[in-house]
Amino acid sequence: MKKSEQADFLKYIKIGIVIIDRETHLIQYVNEDAALMADSTPDEMTGNRCFGFICTADEGICPFEGNAEISPSVSSLVRSDGSALDIIKTIRPTSLRGVPCYVETFFELDDIRRFGDLINREQERLDRAMTIGRQGIWEYNRETKELYFDEHFYRMAGYGDGDFPADFDSWLTLVHEDDREGTAGELDAFVSGKTDSYNCSFMFRRKSGRYMWIRARGEKVTRIDGSGSSRLLCIHLDISQDKEREKRNLLRNSLQMRLLKPAPLQEKSELICKTVRLATSTDTAELWVKGYFLGSEASPEKPLSLHRAAFSGKTGEDSFGAISLSFIEKVMASENAGPLKADDEASLTGFQLKGSDGNAIGALVLSSPGDLDSEKTAYLESLASITSQVILNNHSEENLITALSDMERAVNLMNGREARILEIKEEVNQLLSQSGKSAKYDLDRKPDQSFTGQLTLREEKRIALSLAEDAEITRRQLVESNEQLLLIKAAVNSSSDGVAISTTSGMFYFINQTFTSLLGYSVGDLMITPEEKIFSRPEDYTSCLKTTLNGGSFLQESFLKTKGGKILPAFLRASAFNDKEGYPIGIIWNITDITLRKENEKKINSDLAAQKEMLRKALVLQQNYIQRSIPVIRNFNIQGLFMPCEKLGGDFFKILRGISEDKLIIVMGDCTDHGLKASLDASLLSSVTDHHIEQLFRSGRTDLFLKSISRSFMDMADEDQFPTMTVLLIDLTKGILRYSNANGELPYLIRDGRAVRLDPVQGMHISYFADPVYGMNEMELLSEDRLLIYSDAVVEMKDSRGRRNSRAIFESLLEKSRGNSSRYFYSLIRELEKLNGSYPLDDDTTLIQLEYRQPKRFNFSFHHIDEWDRHLTAMKKLMHNYDFGIDETEKTAIAITELAINAFVHGNRSDSSLQVMVRGAIDCGSIVVTLADRGEGFKREDIIDPVTNIQEIMDRDVEHEYTHGRGLKIADDFLSEIIRNKKGNEVTAIQEKKKRDIITIDKISF
């Protein structure tokens, strides 16, 4: 329980006070609480002796005689009905107006017990919150140099209470050496008082030796009475999970980029395993793939033809034993893609890899020292899906390359065989010719033409032996060629892609099994089906044929038509092969079923469309809840900037003035993160704020307003959303500021050239506690004070090297605040851009500046128009100081000058002995100037309008009428309102300040 909560509770504890004369024991004074506990009234009790009346002691026997003070002790109070009430009583001897007396103070024992129970319950709730939130606290007293680490501070890193001394030097030794110097610098600035806050992230060594990520945030602590304090309080938050998530996403993105580059499957598999192990901190990771994806055959030891494609371990050694294969087979047989835990080996987890047909093609198995959480499981499932696609894509490419290579070898073998047969026939003819015989084969005509001449027996025998040798050579060549063709056929038939060969005229003569199963035709059907019949779009077939027969390769997504008429989305590859002269004699077709990919694309496009629609709705919501213009307030010049770091942001603000109450309210909220989710959370928080804003106008209590906001938002928002909020309420009639803060950035007050943050007030994030308590401070504003309300992005900026700019730099910019508030505000925006390097900043950015200026009156007179310029310059300077725009100022100056000329020339008839009296008033909303001449006056309707009546004036052609009424027309057009007295010799000019727009990134121009 916070001290302010304890103080609020103590208000409801009755504290009785009784003053008793030490000599007479007569009761001299009784307060209301004492009388209430005695079930009586102060008047009834005063003047009675204490014995037996309020004290259980007998008459004349006082147990507290003497001058010693009696410490708090358990006693009894006698009530009016004679019953006794258990109390804790303190007695202090003193004197009242020179008369010795006792001052007794007491309170009910039951109140103390209830207070103790409440503190215990609050402590238990705080302990639970700190444990669940993985937080710890340290507290430091600058005066006594005492440092305190609470038990959660030790426990969150696995340490026991007091495992290391409570001093900064010992603690810094546990900070990672890469972060130690920067953390020590930030900490020293905070502890020494150079900065009022402390905010940094670093790695911290656990007791186990492993490192965790911690974000530390500290502030000065304010006492209950609101006075200054030398105590510093810092919260440590474990952000290791956020850092692990960031690391996993970076590894996955890097993996996907590297997998796009051509490489063997084994190299890609090793990269996947290494990524799995690094991203999930597992001991080992293995990738197993069906053999035909690696070009391997099944074996008796591996009945599923499983082969290990890659392995990655901490030590580089294979840690899997015989259990691995049986577990992997179980993963392969599972109907679920994963994860699957090993029954007899708790550290093993497997994810099934699926092919395009939904069947298992492999398994990703890892060994982890503990159970995988849901986040890591989802991450591994996404890697398993990526791995499946890599295997399938790699296999399709390898099969196609192998099939084309084998076909080329087959064609070469067949060409070689025909050439060898021709050589044998030529040899036979040469042998016969050498023997003087006629040729056996007519090579110029029919290839089977035989020799019919007569030979001797010896010649025939020699020729027969030679022919037999040649025939054996030919037979061996034919056998080898046939074996090669069988191997090619087996390889092509085992491909997961459809492969076919056709003539250039469009008839198939070779088709693999996948080709027939994809299209639903039998081999016989396809042999008599022209190619164009399987295309659902004839133009695809025409384009393919034209490309391939011209020597090119056709690569394109297409839509094929199955036998049953179903449309099959496929990726089609086609290329022609040529004869020895280079003429195309056939086409090789390869088709890959991309149905699953198209379905995924459809789902992705649907999801993208849904996200775009959600983004559109969120943008509409943001346009509705983000204020676009600033109301004109008589006592304040106000400027605002809103700049989300993405299209959508988590900041929101409200600048409101009550219709009936003369109050100004500024609310600034900041939801965690940025983008779509933060914008939706901000929209919800803005709606909750609108619901309670009337309560704030009525009560004027910013602390109660924040309490209502926190409770409502907790009931409606996600559990992990804890926005910050700052609320200011200004009494416009008195210039009194009240403010409360829900752990947001405290506004700056700029006064007399010095920028100081407002005093801290109690309060945690919105929805952090079910029954929150917020403090409220109050102060009086002085004329020309400026307030700057800002989001945390402004003080968390980094320069081009990634170094955070100090708060001192920001404060030095604020202390340059001088003169016109709008001009300074633009200057501040420009300087912030220079510090950051560009806009937008790394986080959503909101800035609101308020300048308090009290209204001002002025009076003067002039006898001649020549004196006017001096007075006009003074009025223009006033308008500049009260933040009127240049256009507003110049139009006002022109209009009032015309009225001044009319007063002098037409009213006073240019008589310098007569005065023109001028009186005026200016505030941050308008300027009012009244001019009174000494003339007889005029009626406005008697003056001819020189614009609408120009033809009438030209017809009369009276010289002075051409300019008559010109000044009045200009004044009517340039001023907000003109009021004339009945006589017509006094005119009041009113210029209302226009509303200012909130500055956005598209409106910034320097």
Range among 334-343, 485-494, 589-598 rated most confident = 589-598
- In percent, the amount of the chain with pLDDT more than 70 equals 73
Beta bridge partners of residue 147, listed in sequence order: 140
Average pLDDT, the chain: 78
369 preceded by a cis bond (ω within 30 of 0): no
What are the pLDDT digits (tens) for 272-325? 888 888 877 777 888 887 765 555 444 434 444 566 767 766 554 444 443 467
DSSP H/E element including 180? helix 177-191
Q: pLDDT tens for residues 645-666?
A: 777 777 888 888 876 558 999 9
The pair phi, psi for residue 743, each rounded to 5°, is 60, 20
pLDDT at 192: 86
3 state DSSP class of 945? coil
pLDDT band at 728 (very low <50, low <70, confident <90, very high): very high
Token readout for 266 is 């084994």
| pLDDT per position as a tens digit, 307-322 | 676 776 655 444 444 3
Contact 407, 577 (CB under 8 A): yes
Helices (H), 573-631: 595-625
Which pLDDT band, with edges at 50, 70 and 90, does 124 fall under? low
Contacts of 943 (CB under 8 A, 6+ apart): 964, 965, 968
- Residue 458, CB half-sphere, CA atoms under 13 Å: how many? 1
Domains and CATH numbers, the chain: 13-110 (3.30.450.20), 132-245 (3.30.450.20), 495-598 (3.30.450.20), 626-852 (3.60.40.10), 856-997 (3.30.565.10)
Strand 724-731 and strand 663-670: pairing? antiparallel
Please give the full DSSP string across 313-346, using - where no structure is assigned: ESSSS----THHHHHHHHHHH-SS-S-EE-SS-T
Minimal CA–CA distance to 216: which of 240, 185, 196, 238?
238
Q: Compute the distance between CA of residue 148 and CA of residue 165 in angstroms, rounded to an integer.
A: 10
Stretch 719-728: mean pLDDT: 85
814-832 pLDDT tens trace: 887 667 888 888 888 888 8
pTM over 0.85: no
Q: Which of 788, 734, 789, 741 is nearest to 762 (CA)?
A: 741
Can you say whether residue 937 is alpha, beta or left, with left for phi > 0 and alpha for psi between -120 and 50 degrees?
A: left
Query: Which residue did the predictor score with more confidence, 834 or 618?
Result: 834
**3-state class of 127 per DSSP?**
helix
298, 291 contact by CB (below 8 A): yes
Separation between Cα atoms, residue 310 and residue 318, nearest integer Å: 11
Round the CA-based radius of gyration of the chain to a whole number and report it.
Answer: 47
Evaluate whether 999 touches 639 at the Cβ level (below 8 Å).
Answer: yes
- Cβ contact 498:514 at 8 Å: yes
What are the respective helix, strand and coil percentages of the chain, to the nearest 5? 40, 25, 35
For residue range 73-97, what is the model confidence (pLDDT) as tens digits? 778 888 888 888 888 888 888 887 7
* The pLDDT value given to residue 614: 65
pLDDT (mean) for 47-69: 75
Task: Report pLDDT digits (tens) over 382-399.
Answer: 888 888 877 777 766 555
Q: What is the dihedral of CA 388, 393, 396, 400, to 10 degrees?
A: -160
pLDDT digits (tens, 9 = 90+) for 154-197: 888 888 888 888 888 888 999 999 999 988 888 888 888 888 88
pLDDT tens for 234-261 read: 888 888 888 888 888 788 777 777 777 7
